[in-house]
Amino acid sequence: MTVIVIANGSVLTPEGWMQTDVAVSGAVIVEIDQVLENATVIDAAGCLVGPGFVDLHTHLREPGQTWKEDVASGSLSAAAGGFTAVVAMPNTDPPIDSPKVVDLVASRGVEVGLVDVIPSGALTVGRSGHAVSDIAALYRAGVRVFSDDGDSVEDSGLLAEIMSTMAALDGAVVAQHAEVSSLTDDGHMHDGAVSRRLGIGGLAAEAESEIVRRDLDLVRRTGARYHCQHVSAESTVEAIRSAKEEGLPVTAEVTPHHLSFTEEDLLSLDTNFKMYPPLRSESDRNVLLEALREGIIDVVATDHAPHLPSEKDVAFPEAPRGVIGLETAASVVWGALAEPDALFKVLSTSPAGIAGLSDHGQAVKPGNKANLVVFAPEEVWNVTSFQSKSANSPYLGADMTGRVRTTIHDGRVSYQSGEK
Amino acid sequence: MKGLITVRDLGPDQLRAMIEEASLLRDMLDRHEEPDPALQGRCVANLFFEPSTRTRLSFELAAKRLGAHVLTLNPATSSASKGESLRDTVLTIAAVGADVMVVRHLEDGVPQSVAEWTGLAVVNGGDGTHEHPTQALLDAVTLSRHYEGLEGLRVGVVGDITHSRVAGSLLHVLPRLGMDVTLVAPTNWLPADTPHQTTTDFDAMIPELDVVYLLRVQTERGGRITDSYVGNFQLDEPRLARMRPDAIILHPGPINRGVEIADEVAESSRSLITEQVRNGVPTRMAVLRAVGL
């Protein structure tokens, strides 16, 4: 039986932050005095110890695009980022729109065994936006987060039907990638000063907020739980704010990169800054940060989207959208919020709650599943390489403060950083 | 000057100096004099990822007249068709030994990406709907050779402005030289947030203009030829007759005869279209000299 003692850390317990040791035996946290000899001791002096992080938005690329990433490399990447659970987006090939593909992805996750891989399910058959997928069957297969991520469900009638079905399913949530495709056809970066200077087609903020406003009207009508993926624009934040004030069952996420960067970072046309939704203005970035602090935005989710250099090193408009984010997310959030409670709230407690993962996101106490992270808030490091198969990160080369030291998944060390 | 990606990087003094230089080179070429082989031993790579005749030929000749070696990439037979990334393609050409790259691409921003990837001097030979700096410069050369001074000239830029990379450069060059620009187009071809005056009434504008600059309808980039466009915006003989007696016509080519310009008008003595083409080589010589030294 694996026995681990995490010693001398500052631990997030149900009673708050405590200077204490944490003992793990088997897959669970145990009382410290139960621990036998021969324990592996992890020195967590100066570190925060809390529940492992949960990513609501990961692209593992398996099945179908395993040259970019697969469950094994994506799990390594997640563990290196302090994650103990990731929600795998369904835009694979074939897409996760049937129990069969759900089982395939979930069982690959169990085989690899570094992180809980939680498949999301497509809202529509083949993610084509035309017909409702078999939501009841997906739900029985364990799916709680449903999304057509990469595309919006634009058809209002169809979405209303989906929401009505899902409102009756306890814990099920509609996660929307908000994008009016007819407004973004020729767009490759935020529609603003930089896109005009570079002559690159713009992506208007309204392409996002129009869908979200429409969706919120349908939430009011159907009562379905709704989660807004990767919020990028001030107008969307305002729509979410008023929905929350009204008491609608709504949550929202922001990506780390939208907290760090703006359209100005695209002046060099580096395709590692190209994603959807695009990096927007400095004023949008400040609104997102403030909304995260206020809780209007509930979680930080990575939208980890691996692409190879050969795919990214092309004309900017032709480059695929998306950047990786699992291995840098915690450092970015720490840099943005610099507050231990907030770090674990937006990266662990809140996302675990939204995805209904009771083994994750809990304060550290005996009896709980041992899904833990040790985070060194003062460690300075430079982003040079990744566990992911891809390296399309806007943080490549950046100096970061705060680093994941150790990740424990299911009672076993799933990641241990090389240096102290 | 480290490359020429956008005319926005050129101030009025720099513009005037380059125009003057190009004009001197034009005079030399007219006298069949050999210019100083300023680029001897240098290599200019022409990367035309999009078809081009006049721009490619004139860059080629300009580079040769300055004594440079010239590589011309034909993307259809290059590795681009074997799945090699654009970055790898241009890095290979840089490694072969290019000193200057002239880049044309159907996508916006590629010349800048090439400059970022290679660190070489890159001249934008036209990218997407973004810019075509050497076209705007040779237009300015043509105007400066025709007029005593450019200050205060009234120029109407007519047609498919939103899809035109020529307009993308021209609309920054002309005002910097003191010209007064009005955009003349149907509403859907007028940019939303332009600092220039705009009108949809070409007929009312014609008698006011010193220069009528016609743009080609960019059908390959989403411009659509319609009856109402041809009826309201084609420069035909009745409209030519209403132009000021000393007003001139410019067009960047290729011309769509019978669309933006009537056949007879293209051939009229008021058209400086052939002059524009003649100024292509000396203008590109001036640019290559400025970036290749």
Beta-carbon count within 10 A of B159 CB: 30
What pLDDT was estimated at residue A59? Answer: 98
* Residues of chain B found within 8 Å of residue A201, distances taken between Cβ atoms: 108
Judging by DSSP bridges, how do beta strands A16-25 and A28-30 pair with one another? Answer: antiparallel
Alpha helices in A223-251 (DSSP H): 234-246
Q: Say whether B85 and A317 touch across the interface (CB within 8 A).
A: no
Check whether B193 has a pLDDT greater than 90.
Answer: no
CA dihedral A19, A20, A24, A28 (to 10 degrees): -70
Q: Say whether B107 and A197 touch across the interface (CB within 8 A).
A: no
As a 3-state breakdown, chain A gives helix, strand, coil percent values, each rounded to 5, of 35, 25, 40
Instruction: Express each pLDDT in A7-35 by its tens digit.
Output: 999 999 999 999 999 999 999 999 987 65
Closest-CA residue of B relative to A309 is B85
Q: Say whether A198 and B116 touch across the interface (CB within 8 A).
A: no
Contacts across the A-B interface (CB distance below 8 Å): 60
Interchain CB contact of A315 with B (< 8 Å): yes
Check whether A420 has a pLDDT greater than 50.
Answer: no
Closest-CA residue of B relative to A199 is B130
**Residues sharing a CB contact under 8 Å with residue A228, sequence separation 6 or more, in sequence order:** A175, A176, A178, A212, A215, A236, A240, A250, A251, A252, A253
Stretch B151-177: mean pLDDT:
96
Interchain CB contact of A316 with B (< 8 Å): yes
Q: Say whether A199 and B108 touch across the interface (CB within 8 A).
A: yes
**Residues sharing a CB contact under 8 Å with residue A198, sequence separation 6 or more, in sequence order:** A189, A266, A267, A269, B108, B109, B112, B130
Q: How far apart are CA B65 and CA B79, in angstroms?
A: 29
* Residues of chain B found within 8 Å of residue A269, distances taken between Cβ atoms: 109, 112-113, 116
Higher per-residue confidence, B147 vs B253: B147
C-alpha distances out from residue A351 to A226, A300, B232, Å: 13, 8, 59
Which helix (H) or strand (E) segment is B282 a member of? Answer: helix B280-292
How many angstroms away from the CA of B270 is the closest CA of chain A?
33
Instruction: Express each pLDDT in B62-83 by its tens digit.
Output: 999 999 999 988 775 555 556 7
Of the residues A303, A359, A399, A410, only one is catalytic, namely A303
Instruction: Express each pLDDT in B199-248 by its tens digit.
Output: 999 999 999 999 999 999 988 877 888 999 999 999 999 999 999 999 99
Q: Phi/psi of residue B129, each to 5°?
A: -105, 20
* Ordered DSSP codes for A129-196: SSSB--HHHHHHTT--EEE-TTS----HHHHHHHHHHHHTSTT-EEEE----HHHHTT--EETTHHHH
Stretch B270-281: mean pLDDT:
96
| CA-based max dimension of chain A | 66
What pLDDT was estimated at residue A412? Answer: 96
Stretch B278-292: mean pLDDT:
96
Judging by DSSP bridges, how do beta strands A53-58 and A16-25 pair with one another? Answer: unpaired
Q: How far apart are CA A218 and CA B123, in angstroms?
A: 52
C-beta separation of B114 from B90 below 8 A: yes
CA dihedral A386, A388, A393, A397 (to 10 degrees): 10
- Which of A199, A313, A316 lies closest to B85 in CB terms? A313
Check whether A130 has a pLDDT greater than 80.
Answer: yes
Interchain CB contact of A15 with B (< 8 Å): no
How many angstroms away from the CA of A266 is the closest CA of chain B?
11
Instruction: Express each pLDDT in A180-199 by its tens digit.
Output: 998 888 899 999 999 988 98
Domains and CATH numbers, chain B: 7-131+279-292 (3.40.50.1370), 133-277 (3.40.50.1370)
What pLDDT was estimated at residue A35? Answer: 59
Interchain CB contact of A196 with B (< 8 Å): yes
Stretch A83-100: mean pLDDT:
98
Q: Say whether B116 and A270 touch across the interface (CB within 8 A).
A: yes
Asked if ipTM goes beyond 0.85, one says no
Interface of B with A in 136-165 (CB under 8 A): 165
C-beta separation of B275 from B142 below 8 A: yes
Tell me yes or no: is domain A52-355 CATH 3.20.20.140.
Answer: yes
Would you call A103 a catalytic residue per the annotation? no
* Residues of chain B found within 8 Å of residue A315, distances taken between Cβ atoms: 86, 105, 107, 109-110, 113
- Which of A199, A268, A312 lies closest to B128 in CB terms? A199
Domains A3-48+366-416 and A52-355 are alike in CATH topology: no
Closest-CA residue of A relative to B194 is A196
**Residues sharing a CB contact under 8 Å with residue A247, sequence separation 6 or more, in sequence order:** none
Burial profile A63-74: b = 16 or more Cβ within 10 angstroms, e = fewer: bebbebbbbbbb
* Residues of chain B found within 8 Å of residue A314, distances taken between Cβ atoms: 85-87
Q: Say whether A269 and B165 touch across the interface (CB within 8 A).
A: no
Please provide the average confidence, as pLDDT, over all residues in chain B.
93
C-beta separation of A406 from A50 below 8 A: no
For an interface test with B, give the residue of A196, A266, A316, A318 to mutate (most B CBs within 10 A): A316
Q: Say whether B108 and A313 touch across the interface (CB within 8 A).
A: no
* Ordered DSSP codes for B10-22: --HHHHHHHHHHH
Please provide the average confidence, as pLDDT, over all residues in chain A.
96
Question: Residues of chain B with pLDDT > 70: what percent?
Answer: 97
Q: Say whether B86 and A313 touch across the interface (CB within 8 A).
A: yes
Q: Say whether B113 and A269 touch across the interface (CB within 8 A).
A: yes
C-beta separation of A334 from A373 below 8 A: no
Q: Which amino acid is at B43?
A: C
Return the closest-CA partner of residue A43 out of A11, A74, A6, A87. A6
Check whether A419 has a pLDDT greater than 70.
Answer: no
Domain ranges in chain A?
A: 3-48+366-416, 52-355
Residue A406 structure tokens: 């150790």
* Ordered DSSP codes for A360-412: SSPPP-TTSB--EEEEEEEEEEE----SSS----TTTT-EEEEEEEEEEETTE
The hierarchical CATH code for the domain A3-48+366-416 is 2.30.40.10
pTM (two decimals) = 0.90
Could you tell me the pLDDT band of residue B140, with boundaries at 50, 70 and 90? very high
**Residues sharing a CB contact under 8 Å with residue A280, sequence separation 6 or more, in sequence order:** A190, A192, A205, A232, A233, A258, A262, A263
C-beta separation of A380 from A329 below 8 A: no
Return the closest-CA partner of residue B158 out of B230, B212, B238, B197. B212
Whose tokens are 């302090």? That residue is A82
C-alpha distances out from residue A203 to A232, B103, B190, B219, B223, Å: 11, 26, 19, 23, 20
Interchain CB contact of A391 with B (< 8 Å): no
Sheet holding B121-127, edge to edge: B69-73, B43-48, B100-105, B121-127
- Which of B107, B117, B165 lies closest to A317 in CB terms? B107
